[in-house]
Chain A
């Protein structure tokens, strides 16, 4: 199946710093990518939809100035957690769709575990 890769897989940072997470579709073009956040023992929570060449669409309750999303090419979307705080520590997962509309076959990255000290 299609491959989606995230980098870094783990990152530890100090409170107040910004962290960038990359999501790449390795063997297909993705006009749309999705960013999820997952806390321990919980389900994935959709944060935003990343659209190539346009602004991201954020879910209700997600601060767009806190979680900056850039989708500059058809194979790369980035999530920047700005001024990170310990409560931002989480597992961040991206996904991209390969296929026709509504088939729902998303491919997920390996996830990036952020720890804010």
Chain B
């Protein structure tokens, strides 16, 4: 199973862009990279998913280099409500999407 490594915590201020990088050196060919957001006492919420290059949706962008050994989640103009834990996951190529969570990055957005 591909293991992920992220910074334990990050701090930012409202209105800033936040970039969270995740390392997944042994990602498999068929694996996708997915990011989730979790607020306290809630289940994780899907943010974005990609396989390679760049993916953008209404809330974030995901940058994946050609070797796919890392990925960067970019949150534009964060607000206080973006304070949460962000998890980077790499899909298990075993065939039924068993996802193993790493430690995640605890993002604190300050006024």
Q: Mark A74-117, 1 if CB is under 8 A from B, else 0.
A: 00000000000000000101010100011111111111010000
Specify which chain B residues have a CB less than 8 angstroms from the CB of A110 in the assembled complex.
42-43
Asked if B96 and A46 make an inter-chain contact with CB atoms under 8 angstroms apart, the answer reads no
Chain B residues touching A, majority SS = loop
8 A Cβ contacts from B65-111 to A: 87, 89-93, 95-104
Question: Which residue of chain A is the closest to B34 with respect to CB atoms?
Answer: A104
Q: B43 near A111 (CB under 8 angstroms)?
A: yes
The interface size of chain A toward B, counting residues with CB under 8 Å, comes to 27
User: Considering the chains assembled together, what is the distance between the CA atoms of A1 and B43 in angstroms?
Assistant: 14
Interface of A is mostly: strand
Q: How far is the CA of A44 from the CA of B42 in the complex (A)?
A: 11
Contact between B49 and A103 (Cβ–Cβ < 8 Å)? yes
The distance in angstroms between the C-alpha atoms of A14 and B33, with both chains bound, is 41
Contact digits for B37-64, partner A, Cβ 8 Å, 1 yes 0 no: 0000111111001000000000000000
Chain B residues whose CB sits within 8 angstroms of the CB of A36 once the complex forms: 101
How distant is the Cα of A73 from the Cα of B45 in the complex, in angstroms? 24
Name B90's closest neighbour in chain A (CB-CB): A104
Contacts known (A43-B87, A104-B34); A97 close to B97, Cβ less than 8 A: yes
Q: Mark B13-31, 1 if CB is under 8 A from A, else 0.
A: 0000000000000000011
When the two chains form their complex, are residues A43 and B46 in contact, meaning their CB atoms are under 8 A apart?
Answer: no
Which residues of A are at the interface with B, using a C-beta cutoff of 8 A? 1, 4, 6, 32, 34, 36, 43-46, 49, 91, 93, 95, 97, 101-111, 113
Return 10 A-B CB contacts under 8 Å, by A number. Answer: A45-B101, A46-B98, A46-B101, A93-B43, A93-B44, A95-B44, A102-B97, A104-B32, A104-B97, A109-B43
